[in-house]
Amino acid sequence: MYKNILINAMVNLGDVVLTTSAISLIKKNFPLTKITLMVKSVVADAVKNNPVIDDVIIFDYKAKKNSLSKMIAMVNEIKRRNFDLSISFDRKLRPALLTYIAGIPKRVGPSKVFDNNKSRVTWLYTDVVNIDHDLNKTLQAETYQEIVRKFFEIDGHTKPVFANILPENRSNVDKLFSRLPKSKFKIALCVKGTFPLKTWPKEYFAEVIKKIATDYDVAFYIIGAPNDRSYADEVIAESQIKIENFCGETSLVDLAEIFLRTDLLIGVDTGATHIAATTGVKMITIYGCTSPNRWHPINDNAIVFTSKENCCPCSFKVEQCPSYPKPNCLYNVKPEEVITACRNFFDN
């Protein structure tokens, strides 16, 4: 059996969180196996100090800047660690080249993982795991687990696992929450997606906020990345309600601690959504161009809203959307639906 595995997950935050379900499945079946995860630096906090991951390699590169020197250095680092197996959860060329040149004897990757397109990257694998289910009708975490189940010939299903919360994270959140007014309920808001067709209209968010603030004793706060801060301020201005803007003031692990202290998260489909799901927080997620059939939070306390447009899921740029400038997938999920769901959470 393999003793020292390198797993490539050079993907965005939400996907990295979801891959931990497959890593957990490996650990469950082979607890003595050492697992090292290769990720980008921006997501490293999600997997450092993670109970199912033994070590982390950070690989950052830019296609036209110092890429050769970084590749050589990383090949040498991989050789030094003597991995006996690599598994690709990203099917990207550079990680596949690294493991090939470094001479890892067994290199495993899926026939598909994000789309149905064939890729010559699979030529660099020693073993290609055939994924035959419909990607858009299957939870992405299950796709990652299927790679593991088929290669190792094991059964089972596991949930994503997030990094351990440390005292410093609790202290950071104590400081943030000291800015909140005393209230019966705390509601976190994630108002901006990673691209426009994931971002529910700010006037819809404002309508929900104003109605909930009228009916319940609530403290609101917005979470997000530093570059979400100005957009969050626009939502706050539209709402005309006192809302704290935490965007850019938290680490990824701070977010997990925030969600543990939150009564309800209202947000869109982002990486933070999948962090929140690991905490079990009550959550409402609004989907635009992406489908909850694939990206539903793995959390029994989560409900989702989607208008199920015929054109979704899609990969359009916002200007290409047939219903631009008011995409149907976003504007057809109405505030009244979300307000009713909020009431159900608070009244039951």
Q: Decide: residue 260, CB within 10 A, 0-12 exposed, 13-18 middle, 19+ buried.
A: middle
Strand partners, 110: 129
pLDDT at 67: 73
| pLDDT tens-digit readout, 251-288 | 999 999 999 999 999 999 999 999 999 999 999 999 99
Query: Predicted confidence band at 64 (pLDDT cuts at 50, 70, 90)?
Result: low
Q: What is the mean pLDDT of the chain?
A: 96
pTM of the full predicted structure? 0.96
Q: Tell me the fold of 167-347.
A: Rossmann fold (3.40.50)
112 HSE (CA, 13 A, CB side): 12
Average pLDDT for residues 218-239, to the nearest whole number?
Answer: 98
pLDDT at 315: 85
Look at the block and give the residue holding tokens 């909850």. 292
Average pLDDT for residues 288-294, to the nearest whole number?
Answer: 96
pLDDT at 348: 81
Average pLDDT for residues 293-308, to the nearest whole number?
Answer: 97
pLDDT at 69: 81
Does residue 321 sit in helix, strand or coil?
A: coil
User: In the predicted model, is pLDDT for residue 305 greater than 90?
Assistant: yes
Average pLDDT for residues 329-338, to the nearest whole number?
Answer: 98
User: In the predicted model, is pLDDT for residue 100 greater than 80?
Assistant: yes
| pLDDT tens-digit readout, 185-223 | 999 999 999 999 999 999 999 999 999 999 999 999 999
Cβ atoms 188, 262 nearer than 8 A: yes
Phi, psi of 87 (to 5 degrees): -125, 130
pLDDT at 66: 60
Residue 291 DSSP code: -
Rounded Cα distance, 63 and 177, in Å: 41
Q: Token digits for 124?
A: 């660099």
pLDDT at 71: 85
User: In the predicted model, is pLDDT for residue 63 greater than 90?
Assistant: no
pLDDT at 65: 62
**190: part of which helix (H) or strand (E)?**
strand 185-190
Rounded Cα distance, 163 and 65, in Å: 31
What percentage of the chain exceeds 70 in pLDDT? 99
7: nearest Cα among 34, 31, 28: 34
Name the residue ranges covered by the structural domains of the chain.
4-152, 167-347
Percent helix, strand and coil across the chain, each to the nearest 5: 45, 15, 40
Superfamily the domain 4-152 falls into: Glycogen Phosphorylase B; (3.40.50.2000)
In this structure, of 7-16, 97-106, 309-318, the range with the lowest mean pLDDT score is 309-318
> Can you say whether the dihedral through the CA atoms of 224, 244, 230, 338 is positive or negative?
positive
User: In the predicted model, is pLDDT for residue 320 greater than 70?
Assistant: yes
